[in-house]
Structure 1
Amino acid sequence: MIMENIIIYDYIDKRINKFDFDSGINFLVSKTNTQGKSSLIKSIYYALGFSIKIWPDGWDANNMIFKLNIKHNNRLVSITRHRDLFYINDKEEILNEKEYSIWLQELLNIRIKIKEKKSKMLADVYASEVLLPFYIDQDKSWNGYVFSKTSDSFGRYTSTAKNLLDFYFGINNMKILDLEASKSQAESELKVIERKMESLELLEKNHLSTDTFVYISQFKNQDENKISEIQLNNYLKKLNSLNSIIALYDKELIDVEKEINILSRDLAELNKFKISYEKRFKEIEHKCIYCNSNLTEEQSLTRLKIRNNLYEISEQIDKCEKKYYELKGIRDKTITKKNNYISEQLEIEDIVNNSRNVDVKNYIENKVQQEIFNNYVSLGGNLQNAKNTVLGKIADIRKSITAENNLGTKKRGEIRKKYNELLNEYELSLGNVKLNDIKFNNFKEILGSGNDANKKMLAIYTLYSNLISEYSIVKIPFAMDSFIKNETAKDFKEKMFKFLSEFYLTIPSQVFFSIIEENLIYIDSKLSYNTIKIESPILKELNKDNVNLIESFGFIEY
């Protein structure tokens, strides 16, 4: 994947800018700190789907639209993000965060699942997890924990960093994930079967009396005009149960109908607003003052405001419509289920009503009891057979997982060996820093303070970046927001940037790195890189030279 450029539009403050990137090293350079380097590097990965929670002061991402143009396997893709919604150039529908995460994995031809802490089940990861090894955030990544606390969302999974890196290294591949998913599904099936067996046993104890099992021939010559009170009571109990179920569905339908009606009214109002704004928008000429029209500055600003309101309304209409049709689908399914229970209710009511007028021989009740007993025996046997089948299936899957894990263990050993080799090399390069106590794929807190901690963190991030570059088939640009926040001694900076030049900036990938201009002298002069100069404010006021950038968003008129 190569990031070609990003356009950022602040539609509240009416500011916009475009930043072009090189396929190799990209330095985000400013003369001093707090000029906007972090804002830009965060925005790039935010547009790609990362969940950024801490932004620099004055940078309100909620008021901005981000358009990231990328190239992946010679395919050009535009990703436009506004808050938690994503627009892809070749998809008509708007995607939420979960849908976008699935799309991103499809683009990369991967599928990552990790066990959730709460459910203990394998679950699809979000874009933040997909991007975990590639983005080093200035505010969240230098806190003593490598990768594991870069995003708050990582906490929902078990051993997030370890499991993700295992996937990228090919230690835990998609085949294992498929097997794990099949095992989880089989284990869920087993739990359902066991619950059914428990319920069957309970029903048998509570509702089946063995002293009623008699030979039907005993009753062949008895009066057929007597009703069975036991059978009648059973039918009445069944009716009460059905009435309770139908009442629950009625309540559910009322609640759903309320939500549908509210959404319907909201949609009607929003469409009225949209028509009103569109009409007002058209009343103002379509040319702007930068195209030699006679519009005043006030009229131009009015058009911009109307356009932004239209965008917000259209976005809200899309969200409402999506929820509206989702609820209609739920309502229709609920009505179908309710009607099935009503049909069963009517059948039993007919039986009860007829039974009140015609007495039936006692042997019918005994015959029914005998049939119920036979059904219990048959159902119990079927459940036991199903349980045995699922247990066998789980055993076979575990064998397959063990075989795949053995291959993964071999791969893990190979990568661990490379890890230790690089660790020793990095220790020699940095000097006076102990790294051999930081074990492979162990993401506990890295102890140390000040420059010593910075050295360790930089070394480990660089190490894993090199391993990902070498062993992973997934190619995503790497980014590191500067590890130096405050004044630092010259000899320390020389050593750190020499290390970066030798080990991080030589990764055969697109790389983004933020740096103060004065520190460029420490970068190896043999390296070729692209410089993106950052000056505050990094977004520029709309003018005749940049207003056309708004057109690139497509869905925003101007």
Structure 2
Amino acid sequence: MRRFLLNKLIVISKKEEKSKEIDFKKGLNIILGANKTGKSSIIKSIFYALGCEVKFESEWKLLIDKYLLYFTYGEKEYLIVRTGKYFELYKIRKGNFILIIETEHFHDYSEELMKIFEISMDFITNKGKKIAFTPPLLFRFQYIDQDLGWEKIGESFNNLKYIMDWKSNTNKYVVGFQGEEYYKTKLERDLAKENLDQFNTKISHYNEFINNLKLSMVNFDPSFESMNIKAYSDDKLLSNELNNAINNLKKDLLILQDELALLKNERYEKHLELKYLKEYLSNLDKDHEFAMKEDSQLVCPFCGTVHENDIEHRIELIKDMQKGNHMIGSIREDLSDIDNKITQLEAEIKTLNNTIRSYQIKLEKNKENTNLINSYKEKGKVEVIQDSISKRDEITLLRDNVLGEILEIDNEIKIMKSTKRRNKIRNNLLKYCREIFEDVNLPESDIKLNDFVQVLNRTGSENPRMIYAYHVALYLYNLNRIKSPFNFLVIDTPNQQGQDEKNLKNIFSVLDRLCNPNGQVIMGTERETGFETEANNVVTLENYKRSLNKVNYKDHIELLNRMQNKVR
């Protein structure tokens, strides 16, 4: 059973030559400390290291240079090092660091991380770009943030909303309704569909070739064979001509694309110029309105300086406004001209792409015809037809097998998306919800799941308890799944959410369920929970505002230096 386990967090401040190292264990981990001792910053650092954008206190954000997060998935240990927007991902083997990827491109890093978790689900951005699953999508239900986490469910991270259907897709994924099995099956179908299309194309080419040969034999004459062979003797020459034409067109395409990029940059600069000019004119207009209301002399309302305000000075203001409007008109004309050029270039690029594609299709058909004609020259028309029919029938049999596979896969997908399966998963989740809602003193009637997520329909202190109960229920539900990276939960400062002593006691009582060593729970709290003895790990923070120290700083710097000698 593969489980995700956080092992250790290290944060380093080179500015202060200090660091902090915190170990995590299976089961319940409690981070205990008074207000302003750095609990929330430590907890946020876990998800920041993973690639989730969180809201740090400005002081912490300026203080920390590097975040190191050790974790295990299955039997293998890994390390993430984050420096600003730069990510390094290592596999740890016998104390050696083996570099998997180092990049400032978030989605390249995310793709490698998802390979570790064996997650094949893809997403589409609002701009239509295909991307891999990202950490903030994967872990949105594993964190109750001190700020946003107690107001909404699964919306504690900032880098989510540029992705289409991110809520609905991750809601279904996290409970397994459309989980990894669904997306792997869907990928199998896509691959099978590609094979089907390739087989159909080959069958179509064989049919076309066979029909052409049969037509040529209707009125057979002795001269046909030599004429036909001569007609195809120039196939190699035609291939060379097509290749040269495609290469030349691609060169032209690069030139046009460069011109288009320059024009788009120019358009961007013009828009900036127009924006600034409009702001300047707006200020002039306000100055003019102010001047018209004043006498021949006016006093600046900001600095108290006295300015002349006779008719000549007012006329100068109007002239400046007229000049500005003239410049705006000129810039708009320039923008119109640039837009026309961009439209023209895009049309030319589209035409070039279509031409290149048509030449590539001709080239592929020519290559296939050349292969078939070589056989034709050796065997004669009748033998070629018989051989072609045999090969076509072999491909048809393969095609029909793939078609059968697709029908079976479609049936599997239909079952996975069935109402019966949805209800089964929902009922399993509801079982845990009922137990936890009762533990935290919430009525069962408050449980309302929409797309597998609790609907927040209460106010006051009940709303945070409802969020807490749902997160815990979802966590316990996922512990029973055979393979899942959702077997950890991080809870930040439940005691600050307006709970009275009784409700807070109910919240802490649930910790009894969270000591299971098959999972991992990290809770930050200002007061003791009563489960410090049962917890596998208790970290106490005492220093005001910062929890950093010099104890392990040199060791951590040496560790970073070791990673400079990483093995790829």
Which TM class, normalised by the smaller chain length? 0.5 to 0.7
2:169 matched to 1:166? Answer: no
Tell me what 2:281 maps to.
none
Structure 2 counterpart of 1:38, from 34, 37, 40:
40
Tell me what 1:284 maps to.
none
- What amino acid is aligned across from residue 66 of structure 1 in structure 2? Y
Structure 2 counterpart of 1:87, from 90, 99, 108:
90
Structure 2 counterpart of 1:217, from 189, 209, 221:
221
- Counterpart Cα distance in 2 of 1:220 and 1:199: 22
Cα pair distance change 1:428/1:252, threshold 3 Å: same
- What amino acid is aligned across from residue 535 of structure 1 in structure 2? N
Tell me what 1:390 maps to.
402
- Counterpart Cα distance in 1 of 2:11 and 2:408: 52
Tell me what 1:325 maps to.
none
- Counterpart Cα distance in 2 of 1:433 and 1:166: 23
- Counterpart Cα distance in 2 of 1:398 and 1:20: 46
- Counterpart Cα distance in 1 of 2:183 and 2:72: 28
- What amino acid is aligned across from residue 38 of structure 1 in structure 2? S
Cα pair distance change 1:200/1:147, threshold 3 Å: farther
Cα pair distance change 1:241/1:143, threshold 3 Å: farther
Cα deviation, residue 456, structure 1:
2.1
- What amino acid is aligned across from residue 398 of structure 1 in structure 2? D
2:510 matched to 1:503? Answer: yes
Structure 2 counterpart of 1:8, from 11, 22, 25:
11
TM value normalised by structure 1? 0.59
Cα deviation, residue 442, structure 1:
2.4
- What amino acid is aligned across from residue 555 of structure 2 in structure 1? N
- Counterpart Cα distance in 1 of 2:500 and 2:108: 43
2:184 matched to 1:181? Answer: no
- Counterpart Cα distance in 1 of 2:488 and 2:173: 17
Deviates most, 9-18 or 188-197: 188-197
Q: How many residues align?
A: 430
Deviations for 1:421-468, whole angstroms, at most 9, x for unmatched residues? Answer: 443344444446665452275237534444343232122112112212
Q: Give the 3-state SS of the residue equivalent to 2:8 in structure 1.
A: strand
Partners of 1:79 and 1:89 within 8 A in 2: no
Structure 2 counterpart of 1:17, from 8, 20, 30:
20
Tell me what 1:275 maps to.
none
Cα deviation, residue 386, structure 1:
5.6
Q: Give the 3-state SS of the residue equivalent to 1:84 in structure 2.
A: strand
- Counterpart Cα distance in 1 of 2:46 and 2:164: 24
Partners of 1:141 and 1:150 within 8 A in 2: no
Tell me what 1:479 maps to.
490
2:472 matched to 1:469? Answer: no
Cα pair distance change 1:183/1:67, threshold 3 Å: same
- What amino acid is aligned across from residue 458 of structure 1 in structure 2? Y
2:57 matched to 1:56? Answer: yes
- Counterpart Cα distance in 1 of 2:129 and 2:39: 39
Structure 2 counterpart of 1:28, from 24, 27, 31:
31
Partners of 1:28 and 1:534 within 8 A in 2: no
Cα pair distance change 1:211/1:26, threshold 3 Å: closer
- Counterpart Cα distance in 1 of 2:427 and 2:401: 42
Structure 2 counterpart of 1:442, from 452, 461, 473:
452
Cα deviation, residue 36, structure 1:
2.5
Q: Give the 3-state SS of the residue equivalent to 2:194 in structure 1.
A: helix
- Counterpart Cα distance in 1 of 2:162 and 2:508: 30
Partners of 1:154 and 1:160 within 8 A in 2: no
- Counterpart Cα distance in 2 of 1:514 and 1:10: 22
- Counterpart Cα distance in 1 of 2:388 and 2:148: 60
Structure 2 counterpart of 1:424, from 416, 426, 434:
434
Partners of 1:113 and 1:123 within 8 A in 2: no
- Counterpart Cα distance in 1 of 2:92 and 2:229: 70
Tell me what 2:270 maps to.
none
TM value normalised by structure 2? 0.58
- What amino acid is aligned across from residue 247 of structure 1 in structure 2? N
Q: Give the 3-state SS of the residue equivalent to 1:95 in structure 2.
A: strand
Partners of 2:12 and 2:553 within 8 A in 1: no
Structure 2 counterpart of 1:455, from 457, 465, 475:
465
Tell me what 1:319 maps to.
none
Cα deviation, residue 237, structure 1:
6.5
Partners of 1:28 and 1:531 within 8 A in 2: yes
Cα pair distance change 1:130/1:154, threshold 3 Å: farther
Partners of 2:40 and 2:146 within 8 A in 1: yes
Partners of 1:9 and 1:64 within 8 A in 2: yes
Cα pair distance change 1:460/1:218, threshold 3 Å: same
- Counterpart Cα distance in 2 of 1:79 and 1:220: 71
Deviations for 1:180-233, whole angstroms, at most 9, x for unmatched residues? Answer: 3211211233345567788999x99xxx89998763416479xx9x99998899
Partners of 1:213 and 1:370 within 8 A in 2: no
Tell me what 1:553 maps to.
560
Partners of 1:38 and 1:481 within 8 A in 2: yes
Cα pair distance change 1:483/1:398, threshold 3 Å: same
Q: Please tell me the root mean square deviation across aligned C-alpha atoms, in Å.
A: 5.3
2:243 matched to 1:242? Answer: yes
Aligned runs of 1:152-301 on 2, under 5 Å? Answer: 152=160, 155-156=163-164, 159-167=168-176, 176-192=182-198, 215-217=219-221, 219=223, 240-248=241-249
- Counterpart Cα distance in 1 of 2:129 and 2:222: 56
Q: Give the 3-state SS of the residue equivalent to 2:461 in structure 1.
A: helix
Cα deviation, residue 398, structure 1:
2.8
2:126 matched to 1:114? Answer: no
- Counterpart Cα distance in 2 of 1:69 and 1:104: 13
- Counterpart Cα distance in 1 of 2:133 and 2:427: 29
- Counterpart Cα distance in 1 of 2:91 and 2:234: 62
Partners of 1:50 and 1:131 within 8 A in 2: no
2:537 matched to 1:533? Answer: no
Partners of 2:32 and 2:539 within 8 A in 1: yes
Unaligned segments of structure 2, at least 5 residues:
257-359, 371-375
Cα deviation, residue 51, structure 1:
1.9
Cα deviation, residue 8, structure 1:
1.1
- What amino acid is aligned across from residue 538 of structure 2 in structure 1? N
- What amino acid is aligned across from residue 101 of structure 2 in structure 1? L
Cα deviation, residue 12, structure 1:
4.5
- Counterpart Cα distance in 2 of 1:120 and 1:382: 39
- Counterpart Cα distance in 1 of 2:501 and 2:205: 72
Cα deviation, residue 394, structure 1:
0.4
- Counterpart Cα distance in 1 of 2:205 and 2:417: 38
Partners of 2:152 and 2:467 within 8 A in 1: yes
Deviations for 1:278-304, whole angstroms, at most 9, x for unmatched residues? Answer: xxxxxxxxxxxxxxxxxxxxxxxxxxx
Q: Give the 3-state SS of the residue equivalent to 1:67 in structure 2.
A: strand
- What amino acid is aligned across from residue 40 of structure 1 in structure 2? I
- Counterpart Cα distance in 2 of 1:139 and 1:441: 24
Partners of 2:192 and 2:406 within 8 A in 1: yes
- What amino acid is aligned across from residue 87 of structure 1 in structure 2? Y
